[in-house]
Structure 1
């Protein structure tokens, strides 16, 4: 009986390994963590918003940098959680920007920039910083003017996930500020006995 149990446990572990490996972040040549479900684009903001909308999703841009311990924490502790990753994959198209990178970016106002000059222009100085965009944007706006929310820094699972949910539910159009929304969800999770450490 013990032998069968060991074999079943071993088989379960082997079955789980490819799934875990498929969801694991890797390190790219630029030194940034890469999720297999991040979208690689030409970083044309207007085009990316349209592509996301065409897939029934919202565009989220994440700024990271080589050696960022908070970025590593986001990938290893938060984005590795299936509940978080599955929700984001289903509802958002995530495009990664290197805060000190040289890839070309086309702002919503038509300006051609590099990733690092875009970060300076838009005023983003922390990594990770996640910027959330609406489904459509008025002509002539730059990214910060069009953004519906910005999440600077690394947070625990529930703050992180609730920000994505709040944006998806267009909480920014309601009277329920994100902090109130987050507190309400945390209380509901606590009542359900689902709350783990932040």
Structure 2
């Protein structure tokens, strides 16, 4: 009887962790829906576009408590995860990594040198790339940057705002976000942030 109980607990624990982020050898939390690429910005933008998606890259680092929260509290939420997975190709970068990256301007450098070149100092930081490659460094080509870890609705609304090309319009993200939250309250939805 005790063995059956232990087996049932193991099955439940496995089911609870299904789809959960895992910790990679590099110390970064991994989502099974993140894309593994050769980190060539032009190719990645084209690959995302071919899938009908936008490219977003996320910088993280080993031991980052905010990165852990992003994965455990935000990206684990089905609404957030499903929206991002359905609309974005996400590629993870290590703030102190040595993997080779090819910038949009053609420069080949390591992840850590790319982070410096692009001005990334916080983790996590999400960089949203344009729909088509341009001849400029990622730091100049980015349509939006989200530095730091935010709650579910702020994160989800940022991804929605970029997908809807809010950056090209007159409605600032904060105004968009406040409007979306107000619409949810009016519909009787409970908000986490």
TM-score normalised per structure 1: 0.89
Paired residues, number? 184
Which residue of the other structure, out of 28, 53, 58, is the alignment partner of 1:32? 28
Match of 2:62 in 1: 66
Q: Does 1:41 align with 2:37?
A: yes
Conserved 8 A contact 1:50-1:136: yes
Match of 2:48 in 1: 52
Aligned with 2:18: secondary structure?
helix
In 2, Cα distance between equivalents of 1:169 and 1:16: 38
Matches within 5 A, 1:30-179: 30-139=26-135, 141-179=136-174
TM-score normalised per structure 2: 0.92
1:17 Cα shift?
Answer: 5.2
Measured against aligned partners, the alpha-carbon deviations of 1:43-82 in whole angstroms (never above 9, x if no partner) come to 0000000000000000000000000000000000000000
Aligned with 1:38: secondary structure?
coil
Q: How large is the Cα RMSD of the aligned pairs? A: 1.5
Match of 1:5 in 2: none
Conserved 8 A contact 2:84-2:159: yes
In 1, Cα distance between equivalents of 2:180 and 2:14: 32
Aligned with 2:115: secondary structure?
helix
Structure 2 stretches of 5 or more lacking a match? 1-7
> Structure 1 residue runs of 4+, over 3 Å off?
14-18
Aligned with 1:23: secondary structure?
coil
In 2, Cα distance between equivalents of 1:174 and 1:94: 24
In 1, Cα distance between equivalents of 2:80 and 2:139: 25
Aligned with 2:86: secondary structure?
helix
In 2, Cα distance between equivalents of 1:110 and 1:193: 49
Conserved 8 A contact 2:46-2:133: no
